[in-house]
A and B are shown apart, each in its own frame.
Chain A
Amino acid sequence: MKLQGEHLFPVDRERLWAALLDPTLLQRVLPGCEPLESTGERRWKTAMALAVGPVQGRFQGNLELSDLVAPESYRLKLDGSGPAGFLRGSGTVRLATEGSSTRLSYEVDAQVGGKVASVGQRLVESSARALARQGLEGLEAALAARAADSTTGPVSIHAASPPPSTTAFAARFARGLWSELPLSWRVAIAGLGAVLLVASVFLLRGC
């Protein structure tokens, strides 16, 4: 399974680079992630609660960054496993300056196994994309919060970040699905919605 995506951050490349290497910030933006525990140079272990469709579970995993080219790119490797199966992936994260902003793009080759694969297959890709989107938006919010803070020291977050709320996740999931739909479907669904809206207005007025 190949995952790729990008996100535009309204900060310069150096700031984003520093944030991406900050374990407390990383933990903050990985939904359902517990604090990252260092196990070596640019290596951490952590645990994460994840839900892929009907399959839910806690994954123990490792995250490793390598081939760092500051502030342009690094490779990341992650693996996690738990009662619901495993996930393994490796890929590249790149940062490119766009005016005063920075575009982050990622490409990850991921493998899933166990129940996540056999039961959650249909939802795995959409879920992974939704998670990535959620994480990147979270990072953007955290950066904004840090910028708003007059002190530039590290944001002190000790508690584990909560698992993503179901509604937030569902909203991102739906947005992902929507963007994957062909244009004709989107038009049709929008049209149907409009018809229903008009019809309900008429009905309500008739009452």
Chain B
Amino acid sequence: MTKGEAGAPAGSGIGARVPRNEDARLLTGRAQFLDDIRLPGMLHVAFLRSDAAHARLVSVNVERARAMPGVIAVYTAADLGDYWQPGPLLVPPPPVPGAVFHTRTQVPLAKEKVRHVGEPIAMVVAESRYVAEDALAEIEVDLDFLTAVVDLEAALELGAPLVHEDLASNLAAHVVQRKGDWETAVEGAPLRIARRLSYDRGAAAALEGRGILASWDRSTERLSIWDTTQAPIPIRNGLAAMLGLSEHQVRVVAPFIGGGFGPKIMMFYPEEVLVPWAAMRLGRPVQWMSDRAEDFVSTTQERLQIHDAELALDGEGRILALRDSFLHDTGAYDPYGLTVPLNSQANALGLYRVPAYWSEFRAVFTNKPIVTPYRGAGRQHGTFVIERLLDLAAREIGVSGPEIRRRNLLRPDEFPHNHEILFQDFTQLTYDSGNYPPLLDLALERIGYESFVREEQPRRRAAGRPTGIGVVAYAEGTGIGPFEGARVHVQTSGKVTVATGIGTQGQGHFTSFAQIVTEALGVPIADVDVITGDTDRFHWGAGTFASRGAVVAGNAIHAAASAVAAKARAVAARTLSIPESDVELADGVARSKRDRSRAIGIGELAKRANPLRGAVEPGAEPGLEATRYFGPERGATAAGVHAMILAFDPETMSVAIEKYVAVHDCGRVLNPLIVEGQIHGGVAQGIGNAWYEQLVFDETGQLKNGSFMDFLLPTALDVPRIETDHRETPSPLNPLGVKGAGEAGAIPVGALFAQALENAIDRPGFEVLEIPLSPNRLFELLRREGAA
């Protein structure tokens, strides 16, 4: 455990395994989620969504629905007037020379065309959800069906039907990034491995769907919004502008949220834009909560990409150059810019020295739900590309998987390492710090690589139980800007509140943020009250995404708490008549280090810092309170090595993960328990991504498995006990030295699963080049390979 800066009570400062403060509330059902909120006179909403993937909207007749008892209002695009506007572009295109980007953002209600199944066409507001749903059946929609754009390659062919007819093609973006010169680098390369690799779509499938509740108070002229968003402040600012209100007239609260994973970022989903508008128009609170079926087609998804990649190596398996050209499915609209494919470009460089890199992608509009970041956010794809190509190269030159990685890992003396391409935060992709070889060594040791390969694996093969091993390395760009802020306030009771702008979706913010404050102020962790996701409590910031909460908000809290600690020391020094250098903050008091009996409670100090008579010192701010901001110059790069032992049953094509090891370096660990939890959850989602979860669309753009009967999630039986280990290479980019950990677990699993499965099946020529897989798909691949 890291020793506390101040005298944090034992076991609750930075680095301590503190059980989560919020769990009692969450596990006993007391925590407030959106659908727990009931306001007097609250109305309910149901949306009529397109059943067609691509069609011209000829007419919408809502008269019969409007006439139904209990129906308060029915809106179509025509009823929105000037409020009908395409949503904002949330992330602009990267400043890469020659980059092409066509902005086409989602609209509140479809007007002339529907572009994906699930796109809202009409909104019904009624006294109850039952009535609202019944009214949907009374709406007559006349659709003129168009050929759907589904296949990425066909979408770019000349004469393909167009998702956006004002564009010349379905190309949404084209970006080329390069480092060094591929042509020169590959000249005379003894080994070149070229493959087509693909990664298909999945749903984040958060336990709680999306929802929003808005209430307009005519007397105070304030709009209160509860929203399952990861980014309440951008939502407040955007909605205030759309609705013509001052930002301070709008309060957005992100209550407890049952999983965000990216799709609940500041999307300005149609529902998010329409419900507050309707609440103001109708003068009554209006609520909408998605059901599972609509979540499958209306919440953003990830991750179809098709890569044509080539790796050039020297005779010892050292990387000379990498070249990758890929198609990225952005769905019907592209409001989140190019974050996902940019992450893919970055992650294809792995933890390795890649002297030359040429990477090109085309983002493609299709008649499918919108693609935006979902845990990993394109990093999986890049990792899949480089790790798979390295595996194939290792086979070719006859070295082990770990060995070819060892030969290419960046050495500790190579940091900071500039990869010379642009990252998703538009800074140069530069790894700030790291020490990779020990991660690999530790993972090999923990999985028992040598003895497994030498003894266990041959024994199992002989016994007819093929079992494979995989070892994969990955990078995670985390903690990007722009900034977050925090206000720390010591009350006269001695209790401390810390408010920050980001939302919380289960990350343990109430605990790890409290630990940072405890560390700085020496107060018991039970006295620290963390407030997140309420724009009335803190109104500057971006949100919880890109593994940035602990890095960016964490450092802002650290800065604010340190400022309060300095104030407290000054007041204590004056009060106790001792030098400031002699003051320590511990056990909820300020005291003399030399004479602990000279002490004053931190609540008492707060009182003295806010005098009721007399005056504060000239130039001083009253109260033990401080607000500070933190913005990193660029993101901090975390890293890890995961290893897996996978048993394969050739009879049933089923698999069982027998052992899973995750070795991880996210810089300084605030709370190992929480980091482990993040890794466990990420790995579980990665396992789902590798073997269970795939959104299947037919050639007309219909989702074929839009329920949990057919879209399989891994259960507790499918996710093994995950062994974790940490290495700490503090980031020089922030005072706490932390790197993000939120997405880490999910990133390497596809590549790892593919490697372990290939190793288990162990047939010359059999290669796993796609994820997700399933028993069916594997059977097909093996049969095809057998027939070839």
Contact = CB atoms under 8 A, between A and B. Distances in A.
A112 B117 CA distance: 12
B296 interface: yes
B273 interface: no
Interface residues of A, number: 18
Interface in A107-151: 111-115, 117-119, 121-122
Given A112-B702, A114-B117, A122 B710 contact: yes
A81 B138 CA distance: 12
A71 interface: no
Given A85-B51, A88-B145, A118-B296, A113 B117 contact: yes
Contact of A119 (B51, B145, B698, B707): B707
Nearest to A82: B137
B705 interface: yes
A121 B705 contact: yes
A83 B137 contact: yes
B294 to A, nearest CB: 10
Given A85-B51, A111-B700, A113-B117, A118 B707 contact: yes
Nearest to A81: B51
B615 interface: no
B74 to A, nearest CB: 15
Given A115-B293, A118-B296, A118-B707, A83 B136 contact: yes
Contacts of A114: 51, 117, 702
**Among the interface residues B52, B141, B293, B702, which one has the most CB atoms of the partner chain A within 10 A?**
B702
Contacts of B612: none
Contact of A113 (B137, B700, B705): B700
A115 B707 CA distance: 9
Contacts of B700: 111, 113
A148 B703 CA distance: 48
Given A118-B297, A119-B293, A113 B52 contact: yes
Given A111-B700, A113-B52, A113-B117, A118 B706 contact: yes
Contacts of B705: 118, 121
Contact of B702 (A54, A82, A117, A122): A117
B703 A118 contact: yes
B52 A119 contact: no
A176 to B, nearest CB: 20
B709 interface: yes
A86 interface: yes
Interface in A57-95: 58, 81-83, 85-86, 88
B540 to A, nearest CB: 41
B293 A118 contact: yes
Interface in B27-78: 51-53
A119 B294 CA distance: 11
Contacts of B117: 113-114, 118
A119 B702 contact: no
A121 B137 contact: no
A85 B698 CA distance: 15
A121 B52 CA distance: 15
Interface in A144-176: none
A114 B141 CA distance: 14
B704 interface: yes
Contacts of A58: 137
Nearest to B297: A118
Contacts of B52: 86, 113
Nearest to A53: B709
Contacts of A118: 117, 293, 296-297, 702-707
B485 to A, nearest CB: 42
Nearest to B136: A83
Contacts of A122: 709-710
B187 to A, nearest CB: 52
Interface string B415-439: 0000000000000000000000000
A122 B141 CA distance: 27
Contacts of A81: 51, 141
A122 to B, nearest CB: 7
A81 B710 CA distance: 23
A85 B293 CA distance: 12
Nearest to B49: A114
A83 B706 CA distance: 16
A131 to B, nearest CB: 20
A179 B640 CA distance: 53
A113 B707 CA distance: 14
Contacts of A88: 145
A159 to B, nearest CB: 23
**Among the interface residues A54, A81, A118, which one has the most CB atoms of the partner chain B within 10 A?**
A118
Contact of B704 (A54, A111, A121): A121
Contacts of A121: 704-705, 710
A54 B710 CA distance: 13
Contacts of A117: 698, 702-704, 706
B706 A119 contact: yes
A119 B709 contact: yes
B564 to A, nearest CB: 53
Contacts of B297: 118
Contacts of B702: 111-114, 117-118
Interface of B: 51-53, 117, 136-137, 141, 145, 293, 296-297, 698, 700, 702-707, 709-710
Interface of A: 54, 58, 81-83, 85-86, 88, 111-115, 117-119, 121-122
29 contacts: A58-B137, A81-B51, A81-B141, A82-B137, A83-B136, A83-B137, A85-B51, A86-B51, A88-B145, A111-B700, A111-B702, A113-B51, A113-B52, A113-B117, A114-B117, A115-B51, A115-B706, A117-B698, A117-B702, A117-B703, A117-B706, A118-B117, A118-B293, A118-B705, A119-B707, A121-B704, A121-B705, A121-B710, A122-B710
Given A83-B137, A112-B702, A118-B117, 5 more contacts: A114-B702, A115-B293, A118-B705, A118-B707, A119-B293
**A-B complex: 4 closest residue pairs judged by Cβ atoms:** A118-B706, A114-B51, A117-B702, A113-B51
